[in-house]
Structure 1
Amino acid sequence: MDEQLINLTVEKFKTEFKSGPEHIFLSPGRINIIGEHVDYSDGFVLPAAIDKYICFAVRRMPQTNFCTIVAKDLGEKYTFDVTMEVKPVQQMWMNYILGVFSQLQKPENQFCGMEIVFSSTIPMGSGLSSSAALECGFAYILNELFDLHLTKKEIAVIGQKSEHTFAGVHCGIMDQFASVFGKENKVIMLDCNSLDHQYFDADLKGYSLLLFDSCVKHSHLTSGYNERRRDVERGKKVLWKNFPEIEKFRDFTLSMLDRTKEEMGDISYKRCLYLLKEIRRVEMAAKAISEGNIEYLGTLLTETHTGLSTEFEVSCDELDFLVEHALHQEGVLGARIMGGGFGGCSINLIQENKAEEVIKAISEKYFEHFNIQMKIYQVKISDGIKEYTNEYII
């Protein structure tokens, strides 16, 4: 629990609304151990919620229909009428919230006004999924305050749909699912087709996961993401045309893919090749974690980076540099780009007693080459979205 974050959020609430909140909620970001870009292709992923949060301080206002939301870190606020139909607005952060609210505006759901302040320790644009934490956190709040009887799975799906409809990013379900379903010291193996999932103990046996933030976010993230999806969909159409008996994308074999390469073209072939190999890597990674084979887990992470860089082509010079130089350091078992790509973080599996040496060496090399001071995030695997009781409210 991040007491400093809670206290600062509550202080801002009191300043803004002249009295204290009634509820505190923490909505976590996530890491993904392995399984990148497969969550919209019937794949498996291996995410976990982390101890970086959006904190929401909340009060119901039954005497009004207006909901006022203050984004403390951005220095912005937005007010809307809960009885009126909501539509996308210019402030992108607010669209994640309005996209959630739009799905719950039904005759059977009676809302009143609210006052909300939120603040975050999830670094924006670093691939730790602050957007999913915002969407699912707000859905969770509405569910708790207005007795909507939503299941955890429904909250995750509502968050995903908000991103599709109001933010224009056709993401998979992984980020939202991890934020809602996370458990302390557990990784989740999620079937993105059925949403079946199982937990594995995250015992890394003297190794830890460190995130190296490149501090770059190239502007073609959204367009590049959507282009990759189109490339994949073209490939899938060709595969199903030739092998209509196959039900799920993950059940296509590499030999089937090779037989359709000429018809689908080089780009769609490369995209599908990466995805089919990555889906298999996730299954092997879950097995490696369950058996305590941390060295093999590291090998799989590095294989994923190669695929993301050369086959799916969502890396960038800065991330390739961070991964390549990390792998040359003693005590590093594996490293890869994490998240949608085109910037953000690398995730590194590093021997705990070597971590400081690795951080120092990579930070210096990165600054020397790019003149950028990289950021380092040490994360612990945490629970999913929770309400905290009034004992935590100062």
Structure 2
Amino acid sequence: MKKKLIQNTKDHFEKLFQKPAKHIFLSPGRINIIGEHLDYNDGFVLPAAINKYICFAISENKNSECVLVAKDLNDVYTFDINDPLQPIDKMWANYILGVLHQLKERSLKLKGFTLVFSSTIPMGAGLSSSAALECGVAYAMNDLFQLQLSKEEMAKIGQKAEHTFAGVNCGIMDQFASVFGKKNKVIKLDCTTLAYEYHPANFNEYQLVLFDSCVKHTHLTSGYNDRRNEVEQGLAIIKANYPEVTSFRNCTEAMVVALKDTLGEIIFNRCLFVVQEIARVPLAIAALSKGNINQLGELMTKTHYGLSELYEVSCPEMDFLVAEALGEAEVVGARMMGGGFGGCTINVVKKETANSVIQKLTKAYKIKYNIDLKAYKIKIAKGTSTYGI
């Protein structure tokens, strides 16, 4: 799959421009094993890069003209790198323009280039194709024009590009995982300080399978904003009653339970999920370190029920997919992944039964919702990198 993507991207470049690309880069999508909705709640997250990529074929130009070619969309955008950059009506181009704008804001010297890109990261499935695009462009510019950016700077540039040119107020996790990913490693990341550690993630006889529900409910943005407001209100009440609490990280479940009546049912549920999810992250790291995949699966499943019942960011389709998966003896853990209200579930399945589980869920989902389920068997891969031609 990776080799085919690279070959197709190279061939498309050569066909369009009658000469081979000088450089090839790969930038991966990402998953989050556990630690959902903790990036803005001062908890740790546990993301990893995956073997779904955007491939970039690129050559420098002798002038200041830039040509961007989105192979999968059959679309092209041309501009001059010396002109002021601003968002346009092509969203795919805005992710790239946003990165270039950030580089120019730092007074870094850029020249013209020709870029063709193609992807195996499913769009809209919550696997951060936008972060892969941003980070791949930042990495390519850094390499082509010797900008001497650190990986952390590239991740921050990608995040800022999304804020300013795509209008999405995302956290740093997606870009960080795309740039810093390592094969068979998860990243324990503090989204506040950007302190991070690598931990082993060997799934041995198990396979990670993503089920794409192919639904995206419209209240994703409003629901996300509501949750942020609710946990902020809750934390303020907790701090007022327990002055030693500085964030959810040093708040205990006992404190939340003691304030149940004061918080009110909804805010209590939101805060309870957050403190429970924060506690699950180190347990998940310990389970992975010991190769105890069954225990990891149990923790992931608990996360799903927390997201569904306490944080209320799931939806009927996601709950159905998780319940159906957990009904199979070969599935040791399943949960919704990402912001919620649609997207993918992540499942831990015995390798030899992965295909039969995929077939069963595909059939059940079609019968229940008349939607064609998409399934992806994935591996944990290295982050954004140069691919030798």
TM-score by length of 2: 0.94
- Secondary structure (helix, strand or coil) at the match of 1:212 reads strand
Query: Kindly tell me: are residues 62 and 260 of structure 1, through their superposed partners in 2, closer, same or farther at Cα, counting changes over 3 Å?
Result: farther
Distance in 2 (CA, whole Å) between partners of 1:262 and 1:78 is 57
Q: Deviations over 1:340-373 (max 9, x none)?
A: 2121111111111222222222111111111112
Q: Which deviates further from its counterpart, 240-249 or 100-109? A: 240-249
Hey, what does 2:375 align to over in structure 1?
376
- Secondary structure (helix, strand or coil) at the match of 2:189 reads strand
Distance in 2 (CA, whole Å) between partners of 1:178 and 1:383 is 9
Hey, what does 1:202 align to over in structure 2?
201
CA RMSD of aligned residues (A): 1.9
- 1:26 alignment partner AA: L
The answer on 1:125 being equivalent to 2:124 is: yes
Hey, what does 2:169 align to over in structure 1?
170
The answer on 1:139 being equivalent to 2:144 is: no
Query: Kindly tell me: are residues 247 and 279 of structure 1, through their superposed partners in 2, closer, same or farther at Cα, counting changes over 3 Å?
Result: same
State whether residues 330 and 354 of structure 1, in contact with CA within 8 Å, keep that contact through their aligned partners in structure 2. Answer: no
Hey, what does 1:45 align to over in structure 2?
45
Distance in 2 (CA, whole Å) between partners of 1:269 and 1:139 is 41
- 1:94 alignment partner AA: A
Hey, what does 2:91 align to over in structure 1?
92
Hey, what does 2:272 align to over in structure 1?
273
- 1:45 alignment partner AA: V
How far residue 119 of structure 1 moved from its aligned partner, in angstroms, is 0.5
Query: Kindly tell me: are residues 14 and 192 of structure 1, through their superposed partners in 2, closer, same or farther at Cα, counting changes over 3 Å?
Result: same
Query: Kindly tell me: are residues 244 and 147 of structure 1, through their superposed partners in 2, closer, same or farther at Cα, counting changes over 3 Å?
Result: farther
State whether residues 40 and 173 of structure 1, in contact with CA within 8 Å, keep that contact through their aligned partners in structure 2. Answer: no
- Secondary structure (helix, strand or coil) at the match of 1:184 reads coil
Hey, what does 1:357 align to over in structure 2?
356
Q: Deviations over 1:254-277 (max 9, x none)?
A: 233345555554433322221221
State whether residues 188 and 197 of structure 1, in contact with CA within 8 Å, keep that contact through their aligned partners in structure 2. Answer: yes
Hey, what does 1:29 align to over in structure 2?
29
State whether residues 277 and 303 of structure 2, in contact with CA within 8 Å, keep that contact through their aligned partners in structure 1. Answer: yes
Q: Deviations over 1:13-61 (max 9, x none)?
A: 1233332211110000111111111112211111111110000111111
- Secondary structure (helix, strand or coil) at the match of 2:234 reads helix
- 1:355 alignment partner AA: A
Hey, what does 1:4 align to over in structure 2?
4
Matches within 5 A, 1:120-269: 120-261=119-260, 264-269=263-268
Query: Kindly tell me: are residues 70 and 234 of structure 1, through their superposed partners in 2, closer, same or farther at Cα, counting changes over 3 Å?
Result: farther
Q: Which deviates further from its counterpart, 366-375 or 353-362? A: 353-362
Distance in 2 (CA, whole Å) between partners of 1:311 and 1:140 is 39
Q: Which deviates further from its counterpart, 155-164 or 50-59? A: 155-164
Q: Deviations over 1:235-255 (max 9, x none)?
A: 334344444543333112223
Query: Kindly tell me: are residues 271 and 86 of structure 1, through their superposed partners in 2, closer, same or farther at Cα, counting changes over 3 Å?
Result: farther
How far residue 12 of structure 1 moved from its aligned partner, in angstroms, is 1.8
Distance in 1 (CA, whole Å) between partners of 2:112 and 2:364 is 52
Query: Kindly tell me: are residues 166 and 230 of structure 1, through their superposed partners in 2, closer, same or farther at Cα, counting changes over 3 Å?
Result: farther
TM-score by length of 1: 0.93
Distance in 2 (CA, whole Å) between partners of 1:88 and 1:235 is 37
Distance in 1 (CA, whole Å) between partners of 2:112 and 2:41 is 39
State whether residues 40 and 171 of structure 1, in contact with CA within 8 Å, keep that contact through their aligned partners in structure 2. Answer: no
- Secondary structure (helix, strand or coil) at the match of 1:9 reads helix
Hey, what does 1:56 align to over in structure 2?
56
State whether residues 38 and 279 of structure 1, in contact with CA within 8 Å, keep that contact through their aligned partners in structure 2. Answer: yes
- Secondary structure (helix, strand or coil) at the match of 2:187 reads strand
State whether residues 248 and 274 of structure 2, in contact with CA within 8 Å, keep that contact through their aligned partners in structure 1. Answer: no
Query: Kindly tell me: are residues 23 and 189 of structure 1, through their superposed partners in 2, closer, same or farther at Cα, counting changes over 3 Å?
Result: same
Q: Deviations over 1:316-352 (max 9, x none)?
A: 1111100001111111111000122121111111111
How far residue 100 of structure 1 moved from its aligned partner, in angstroms, is 1.7
- Secondary structure (helix, strand or coil) at the match of 1:105 reads helix
Distance in 1 (CA, whole Å) between partners of 2:47 and 2:30 is 7
Report the count of equivalent residues.
389
Q: Which deviates further from its counterpart, 161-170 or 358-367? A: 161-170
State whether residues 235 and 247 of structure 2, in contact with CA within 8 Å, keep that contact through their aligned partners in structure 1. Answer: no
Identity score, percent:
55
Distance in 1 (CA, whole Å) between partners of 2:323 and 2:80 is 51
Hey, what does 2:296 align to over in structure 1?
297
State whether residues 221 and 341 of structure 1, in contact with CA within 8 Å, keep that contact through their aligned partners in structure 2. Answer: yes
**Runs of 5+ consecutive residues of structure 2 not aligned to the other structure:** none
Hey, what does 2:343 align to over in structure 1?
344
Distance in 1 (CA, whole Å) between partners of 2:221 and 2:77 is 24
State whether residues 5 and 119 of structure 2, in contact with CA within 8 Å, keep that contact through their aligned partners in structure 1. Answer: yes
Query: Kindly tell me: are residues 107 and 352 of structure 1, through their superposed partners in 2, closer, same or farther at Cα, counting changes over 3 Å?
Result: closer
State whether residues 169 and 222 of structure 1, in contact with CA within 8 Å, keep that contact through their aligned partners in structure 2. Answer: no
Q: Deviations over 1:284-335 (max 9, x none)?
A: 1001111122111111011010111112222111111000011111111110
The answer on 1:109 being equivalent to 2:111 is: no
State whether residues 128 and 174 of structure 2, in contact with CA within 8 Å, keep that contact through their aligned partners in structure 1. Answer: yes
Query: Kindly tell me: are residues 18 and 231 of structure 1, through their superposed partners in 2, closer, same or farther at Cα, counting changes over 3 Å?
Result: farther
Matches within 5 A, 1:330-341: 330-341=329-340
Query: Kindly tell me: are residues 85 and 312 of structure 1, through their superposed partners in 2, closer, same or farther at Cα, counting changes over 3 Å?
Result: farther
